[in-house]
Amino acid sequence: MNTKSALFKEHMVELRLFGVLLGLMVVLSLISDRFLTVDNLTNVLWSVCLIGIMTTGAIYAPITGGIDLSVASMAALAGILANVFMNTLGMNWIVAILITLVIGAGIGWLNGVVTTKFLVPAFIVTMAAKTYLFGVAMLVSNGDQITIMEPAPFLQIGIGKLLGIPIPIYIMFTLVILSHILLKKTVFGRRTIAVGANEVAAKLTGVNPDRTRIIVYTISSVTATIAGIVMASLTQQAYAMNATGYELDVITAIVVGGTSLMGGSGSVVGALIGAVMVGFINNGLNLLDMPSAFHPIATGIVILVALIMNQGVSVPAVLKKWFARPGAAEAAK
């Protein structure tokens, strides 16, 4: 009984989120009869896949108390580079992907090194990376929307299906499972959480916070690269603006999923549910023909609400306290 209730407690956040998600789906299907169509759901799936893949790696930075803002630029650049390697330089597609991954890892490593060794806050470092990676992407692609026509196996990554299910879904779930195991079951996961919970204490118990952080930012960049490759293949396009703004969706998904930006805890499964929710919210706005300006507004509100919920304070109690202040009554009059 004890282990059962403990298990339940451990997954409370995820279960609660799942409930909210189901509620959201019900609301959306009531609002729009286009919502529950195969076409629409497939559409949502694509964006969820890309955000979902990115969150599996990007989640580690918040767990250490940091953040990675460069994932979207990294993804766009990855698609452009892969295309250059395959179609300009004529490399085999597998080799091209591997080289792109190595470059992605290198950039993440650099982010990690600058934050840890030169003591620049991760926020600034990855913001700079976001900017310069975008610049490089523009430079390499000439700012063009390049259509990727070949090679065929490369295009299958995005549009191919296995047993009727699109391949990106397999990629996403594989990464979610790997990332979940990495966080919950491995020494590295423990160390990441410890660094976020109390860096000094972690250090004095044998954790190397710098090394841990460098690995964290490397992983983040690698999953962004994977997402970029999937995106290029899926859209058959290499374009510097392809993922613009995705980093906010990724952070929203992570935060909505119950990971605190203060560090010390996190849930990969929660972030996945968060990614699905972000996808649905954007989709819902589209279905309602809301102007695109509403997307950032909705995203912002969702982040705030999620953060408030994750603080564990009860909103009614806060309101009650607020109105119970001496003077509040007079002020209200």
Partner 1 sequence: MSNNVKSDLLLECRGIDKNYNGPQVLSKVDFSLRRGEIHALVGENGAGKSTLIKIVTGITNRNAGTIVFDGHDVPVEHNKNASEKLGIAVIYQELSLIHGMTVAQNIFLTKEPLLPGLPFIDIKKMNAMAQEMIEKYGFDLKATDIIDKLPIAQRQTVEILKALSNKASLMIMDEPTSSLTAKESERLFKIIRMLKAEGITVVYISHRMEEVYDLSDRVTVLRDGKLVSVLEGEEITPAEIIRLMIGRELTEDESHHKMVDKRDREVVLEVKNLSAEGKLNDVSFKLHKGEVLGFGGLVGSGRTELMRAIYGIDAFDAGEIMYLGKTYSPTVEKSIASGFGFVPEERRLQGIMGGISITGNIGIANLDSISSPAGFVSRDKELERTQTAISTLNIKPANPDHLVGNLSGGNQQKVVVGKWLIRDLKLLIVDEPTVGVDIGAKEEMYQTIDRLSREGVAVMVVSSDLPELTRLSDRIIVLRKGRIIKEFTEGVVTEEEVLRAASGIVEGGAK
- Give min distance, CB of 16 to partner 1, in A: 17
Cβ atoms of 104 and 72 closer than 8 Å: no
- CA distances to 187, 219, 285, 316 from 128, rounded to whole Å, are 31, 18, 31, 40
The contacts of residue 225 (CB under 8 Å, 6+ apart) are 74, 75, 78, 100, 101, 103, 104, 105
Among 1, 204, 331, 332, binds partner 1 (CB under 8 A): 204
- Give min distance, CB of 105 to partner 1, in A: 19
Eight-class DSSP state of 23:
H
Q: How many residues bind partner 1 (CB under 8 A)?
A: 27
Candidate ranges 47-55, 107-115, 158-166, 191-199; the one touching partner 1 (CB under 8 A): 191-199
Q: What residue type is 237 in one-letter code?
A: Q
Candidate ranges 81-89, 143-151, 197-205, 305-313; the one touching partner 1 (CB under 8 A): 197-205
Q: Residue 194, interface with partner 1 (CB under 8 A)?
A: yes
- Helical packing angle, 152-159 and 209-235, nearest 10°: 100
Q: Residue 210, interface with partner 1 (CB under 8 A)?
A: no
Site for partner 1 in 9-38 (CB under 8 A): 9
Largest Cα–Cα distance in the chain?
76
Candidate ranges 108-116, 150-158, 184-192, 301-309; the one touching partner 1 (CB under 8 A): 184-192
Q: In the chain, what is the straight-line distance between the N-terminal and C-terminal CA atoms, in Å?
A: 53
Q: Between β-strands 165-166 and 161-162, what pairing exists: parallel, antiparallel or unpaired? A: antiparallel
- Give min distance, CB of 206 to partner 1, in A: 4
For residues 21 and 197, which CB has a smaller minimum distance to partner 1 in the complex? 197
- Helical packing angle, 209-235 and 38-58, nearest 10°: 160
For residues 94 and 201, which CB has a smaller minimum distance to partner 1 in the complex? 201
Q: Residue 198, interface with partner 1 (CB under 8 A)?
A: yes
Place of tokens 């819902």: 284
Candidate ranges 40-48, 91-99, 114-122, 206-214; the one touching partner 1 (CB under 8 A): 206-214
Q: Residue 180, interface with partner 1 (CB under 8 A)?
A: no
- Give min distance, CB of 9 to partner 1, in A: 8
Cβ atoms of 55 and 271 closer than 8 Å: yes
For residues 6 and 165, which CB has a smaller minimum distance to partner 1 in the complex? 6
Rg (CA), the chain: 21
- Give min distance, CB of 185 to partner 1, in A: 5
- Give min distance, CB of 309 to partner 1, in A: 17
For residues 6 and 305, which CB has a smaller minimum distance to partner 1 in the complex? 6
Q: Residue 265, interface with partner 1 (CB under 8 A)?
A: yes
Cβ atoms of 91 and 220 closer than 8 Å: no
- CA distances to 25, 48, 261, 272 from 277, rounded to whole Å, are 9, 8, 19, 9
Count of C-beta atoms within a 10 Å radius of residue 18? 16
Site for partner 1 in 303-322 (CB under 8 A): 320-321
Contact residues toward partner 1 (CB under 8 A) are 6, 9, 185-191, 193-194, 197-198, 200-208, 264-265, 320-321, 324
